[in-house]
Structure 1
Amino acid sequence: MRPAADSRELLQRYEGNPIITALDFPKMVNAVFNPGATVFQGRTLLLLRVEYRTGLSALAVAMSDDGLTGWEIDPERGLKPDTDLVEERWGIEDPRITRIGDEYYVVYVGYSAFGPLVSLAKTRDFIEWERCGVLQSPEDKDAALFPVTFEGRWALVHRPVTAVPGLGAHVWLSFSPDLHFWGDSRVLLPARRGGWWDANKVGLGPPPLLTDHGWLVCYHGVRVTASGSIYRLGLALLDRDDPSKVIARGNEWIFGPQADYEQSGDVPDVVFPCGWILREDGDTLHLYYGAADSVVCVATASLDQLLTHLGVHPFDAGPT
């Protein structure tokens, strides 16, 4: 077994992982995982995916002063599936949070009888919600909004799946003038096939993060092996003004399931982030992820080191 801790890794696991488990939840549930993340009223807020013992999921709020310890879970605060909507009849999952002005736009997966799809809701306080409807029809997952428009259009990263076996699943980019009607879609990050670590499918992790060098993207890549699928994480960088342009994409995975809580659970060998927070020093990055579809964990990275990994040197402004 490989060691779970290696000081050479770009992402360092918090020694107190997992930070939230099903045992921490006030009600009896099966699992708590795949949280969206943001800063709300000066505190770290996680929007947890909570899988109940029915097998259906909802979203609940957990808050902490330091983003690591002292989590306060409110099972009544968050977003529950609207079972009157066919697109949410089997639950809602895997939220990604984008703050736009004073509102928090949450893109999530609705689990319908016709397959998973991408939906949007917004809130100011994580208590009162306005559902904005379906953004992408089945089968589609792993989606998030950019916090700004590009030439007057909103941009959505998402991961549709073809019905044709063997073609893989790739990260796409789509645009909209109004957050309702989407088009001008194109492949952004394809699965690389063959023996690559991200050969079989890829999907967005947290929402893209704006840096001085462009939009930093963390994505999960899946390789199917003889013993099952392995979910690992990689990085890419998109152009600041045109996110359809990929400036850089790392060849190597930077984080994979190595700790026991990542290798053992409802779905073994999975690390699956849906949120990250850049701290006030402008360099410390907390990545919040689900481990083995069972628990919530956090890892810490240096933003400068992540950019350097992609061949971008943060302190070199380049030609002017």
Structure 2
Amino acid sequence: MLNATRILKRHPANPIITPAHMPQAAVVFNPSPARYKGRTVLLLSAYEWSWPEVKRARGGWVAMSDDGVKFEIADEPLIDLIDAPAPFDKLNCTLIDARITQIEDRYYINSPVYQDGEGPFTLLGVTEDFQSYQPLEIVAAPVNRVPSVFPEKIGGKYYRLERPGHDAGASIWLSSSPDLIHWGCYRPVLKPGYSIWNITKIGPTPPIRTPEGWLVIMHGVWAWQAGASHYHIGAFLLDLEEPWKVIGKTQSWLLAPEEDYETRGTVNDVVFPCGALADIEVDELRIYYGAADTRIGLATGSLSAVVEACLKGR
């Protein structure tokens, strides 16, 4: 049986973003992608050199590109809650690992946040232009860092995937909402450990509609010995009308840490996605990913091949 490990190809310019492109940061990683007015947008995770002095929630650097490879990075982050009203003024952390979902002309951003060491819990905010940002509400209690919202309503409701819990063995769940603020009706969706590359932990990204189902790019962790965890990228497929039903998943990984820029860094052996961009017309899937928690890579491949790999369990 063919596996899915050769569907994606790394871009020859990898790593496409490094700390050399962002002198205010010690590391730059785990981007969340979107499209805005025909351009590719990445919301970058980064730790500034002044990070130990951060006294408020701050982060999410906007990177813009016309070709999806060469990016212009903003000098200041999109999110800075220094003058935010309560309760957002009490948050004190660098914002990383955001998930962006475009719904009509608005871009909803779920960010893991902390307050005085407690967390992570989830802050929902919104932007329409990637220049201004409005915090909306805290929409998930600890411990929940990766809620990923579907880009449209299903049966009149909003849905999101999430991974409550920090420990090994935590599953991906589904919840629904009438307004993106109040969430409930939780359903288990996917457990880790159905394959060796995700035996320890899994986490979702915002689903992508395809004719066959909702495609979810995920990370999976294989902690094969004490102190040695490998982060991989895989995928699963959900039913379009009943999104709590898994109709396929990749048995093998789509991407594993293999290149030097993925295996050596702040955290070794990590490829980590916060989302993906799909173009059905040209049959392309683009995954921007964090590499070793230090830099950013790009992998591309056939969207239909990834969907087929899910359906056939490759």
For normalisation by structure 2, the TM-score amounts to 0.89
Match of 1:295 in 2: 295
* Cα distance, 1:83 vs structure 2: 8.1
Q: Deviations over 1:53-90 (max 9, x none)?
A: 22566111111111012x11112352234586366312
Alpha-carbon contact 1:87-1:117 (below 8 Å) kept: no
Q: Say how many residue pairs are matched.
A: 300
Match of 2:44 in 1: 48
Match of 1:192 in 2: 193
Q: Deviations over 1:11-52 (max 9, x none)?
A: 111111111111101x42111111111111111111111211
Match of 1:272 in 2: 272
* Distance of 1:86 and 1:237 partners within structure 2: 38
Matched residue type, 2:185 = D
Match of 2:218 in 1: 219
Q: Deviations over 1:163-211 (max 9, x none)?
A: xx6x622211111112121111122111127x7221111101x311100
Matched residue type, 1:219 = M
Q: Equivalent residue of 1:293, what SS?
A: coil
Match of 2:27 in 1: 31
* Distance of 2:172 and 2:89 partners within structure 1: 25
Match of 2:17 in 1: 20
* Cα distance, 1:111 vs structure 2: 2.7
Match of 2:132 in 1: 128
Q: Equivalent residue of 1:141, what SS?
A: coil
Q: How does 1:97-246 map to 2 (within 5 A)?
A: 97-112=100-115, 113-161=117-165, 168-192=169-193, 196-204=196-204, 206-226=205-225, 228-246=228-246
* Cα distance, 1:161 vs structure 2: 0.6
* Distance of 1:61 and 1:87 partners within structure 2: 24
Alpha-carbon contact 1:87-1:110 (below 8 Å) kept: no
Alpha-carbon contact 1:154-1:177 (below 8 Å) kept: yes
Q: Equivalent residue of 1:75, what SS?
A: coil
* Cα distance, 1:116 vs structure 2: 0.8
Match of 1:3 in 2: none
Matched residue type, 1:100 = I
* Distance of 1:279 and 1:250 partners within structure 2: 20
Alpha-carbon contact 1:87-1:111 (below 8 Å) kept: no
Alpha-carbon contact 2:222-2:229 (below 8 Å) kept: yes
Fraction of identical pairs, as percent: 37
Match of 2:8 in 1: 11
Unaligned runs of 5+ in 1: 1-6, 313-320
Unaligned runs of 5+ in 2: none
Match of 1:317 in 2: none
* Distance of 1:81 and 1:272 partners within structure 2: 26
Q: Equivalent residue of 1:311, what SS?
A: helix
Change over 3 Å in CA distance of 1:49–1:186 after alignment to 2:
same
Alpha-carbon contact 1:90-1:111 (below 8 Å) kept: yes
Alpha-carbon contact 2:249-2:309 (below 8 Å) kept: no
